[in-house]
Amino acid sequence: MIRKTQRIKKEVFLIFKITPTIKRVFSSISQPIKAIVLKSNSAHIRNLFPGEIMIRSILIYLSKADWARNLVTNWKFAWKAASRFIAGETIDDAINVVKELNKNGINATLDQLGENTSSPEEALQATQGIIRILEEIEENEVKANVSIKLTQIGLALNEQLCLDNLERILNNAKDKNNFIRVDMEDTPYTDQTIKLVHYLMNKGYLNTGIVLQSYLYRTEIDIKELIKDKVKFRLVKGAYKESSNDAFPRKKDVDENFDRLTEIIISSAIEQGSEVVSSNGRFPPVTALGTHDEKRILKAIQFQKMKGLSNDALEFQMLYGIRRDLQEQLTAQKYPVRVYVPFGTHWYPYFVRRLAERPANIWFFISNYFRK
Ligand SMILES: Cc1cc2nc3c(=O)[nH]c(=O)nc-3n(C[C@H](O)[C@H](O)[C@H](O)COP(=O)(O)OP(=O)(O)OC[C@H]3O[C@@H](n4cnc5c(N)ncnc54)[C@H](O)[C@@H]3O)c2cc1C
């Protein structure tokens, strides 16, 4: 009898303990879902099936939710699924992947996963981590540069702190004859990212370049502005959830804009002397296209050939774990190909964005649970 009472007490206690968490989870998820269902006009997704729109939007929301990160990163099978897109948890894992890619004639850009650091100490730690990657690239003599996110080195905390960290990284990369690509994050950071990269380029750091997203209306103006200063671009479609005030709601328009922007960048690269990828594989040409979309790639190649730009002045970039066949095909056609190789323990938001890009990946994720 005493035992039974104790067990009931325990269960009641548990229910009370768990209920607020469940409530919190549901209330934090229900608002964005409601917004999605009611509006369903968020950028880049309007011409997908309604179910797909909802799944994508929920995933992009989840990629930023701390409670979901805490939950998912504790599941062993989640890491197993994530490791399709992530080279490993350590720099050694990543360097081994780069060596394999180099053997197959493919260059790399290394990304130490992490974004939105929450203290100056963490931002400094991330900066030191990035400098260590540059050292490892040098020691191992691999053909790789580095991609970074400015919120990783403090942009969300303090602009000056981020600028100082970025300058430290660029200085170090300059000494090692290496290149730093600054990834583009969501629109709260677009202006600042462009401003800081532009400022440091004008200060003499020519070993950097930027990423611009074809889903944003503003990108054509940004490209035309930055091109005057010979900025090196990686053009991508864009991976974040943006409002239709800022970004094309329809995928078709994002794709068409990608083709149009590709033509603008290629034309300007020719006017500037058709710089090619460097022989150490670290400095990309002015035009780098970050996409797995065969139609976009085909259109770019048609335009490049029509304009007479040499193959080694047009770089194609893809993400680790996606479309290896296409990477090999382009390499065989003598185009420079660079694979974005992410590594590290902060893999959650990166992984969930990859799921959002292709809802079919969710089945791959779930199948890993049954294989655990
Ligand atoms: C090198 C590189 C760097 C990037 N850097 C940034 C950045 O700094 N900022 C930013 O906002 N975005 C970045 N992105 C992501 C980009 O914006 C897109 O979200 C992503 O590339 C998917 O779009 P897509 O061009 O491949 O075309 P989509 O039309 O989305 O996909 C075309 C085809 O590619 C394949 N594919 C695409 N995504 C996946 C996936 N996750 N899993 C499996 N197959 C897939 C599928 O076969 C799909 O049919 C980067 C992408 C690359 C390749």
User: Any idea what the CATH number is for the domain that residue 239 is in?
Assistant: 3.20.20.220
Please say whether the beta carbons of 114 and 158 come within 8 A: no
> Domain check: are 267 and 321 in the same one?
yes
**Which pLDDT value is given to residue 114?**
82
**C-alpha of residue 211 to centroid of ligand 1, in Å:** 13
Mean pLDDT, to the nearest integer, of 161-167? Answer: 98
> Domain check: are 123 and 75 in the same one?
no
**Which pLDDT value is given to residue 199?**
96
Least confident of 77-81, 91-95, 284-288, 324-328: 77-81
> Domain check: are 6 and 109 in the same one?
no
The partner residues of 317 in beta bridges, in order of sequence, read 290, 338
Q: Of 18-22, 51-55, 142-146, which one has max mean pLDDT?
A: 142-146
Spell out the residues 6+ positions from residue 307 whose beta carbon is closer than 8 angstroms to its own: 266, 267, 270
User: Residue 25: is its pLDDT beyond 60?
Assistant: no
**Which pLDDT value is given to residue 70?**
82
How far is the C-alpha of 291 from the C-alpha of 21, rounded, in Å?
Answer: 39
How far is the C-alpha of 89 from the C-alpha of 74, rounded, in Å?
Answer: 15
Q: Is the CB of 211 under 6 A from ligand 1?
A: yes
Question: Ligand 1, atom 2: nearest CA belongs to which residue?
Answer: 290
Domain count, the chain: 2
Please say whether the beta carbons of 49 and 314 come within 8 A: no
> Domain check: are 46 and 140 in the same one?
no
Q: What is the CA radius of gyration of the chain?
A: 22
> Domain check: are 218 and 324 in the same one?
yes
| pTM of this structure | 0.86
> Domain check: are 156 and 247 in the same one?
yes
Residue 72 belongs to domain spanning: 2-80+352-370
Condensed to tens digits (0 to 9), the pLDDT of residues 233-252 reads: 999 999 998 999 999 999 99
* 258 CA closest ligand 1 atom index: 25
Catalytic residues: 183, 234
Residue 279's Cβ-side half-sphere holds a number of Cα atoms within 13 Å equal to 0
Condensed to tens digits (0 to 9), the pLDDT of residues 83-129 reads: 889 999 999 999 999 999 999 999 999 999 987 888 999 999 999 99
Residue whose token pair is 């990269």: 197
Token pair recorded at residue 169: 């990284």
Q: Is 355 exposed, middle or buried (0-12, 13-18, 19+ CB in 10 A)?
A: buried
* 357 CA closest ligand 1 atom index: 41
User: Residue 35: is its pLDDT beyond 50?
Assistant: no
Please say whether the beta carbons of 343 and 89 come within 8 A: yes
> Domain check: are 256 and 288 in the same one?
yes
Phi (first) and psi of residue 314, to 5 degrees: -130, 105
Token pair recorded at residue 72: 């998912």
**Which pLDDT value is given to residue 368?**
62
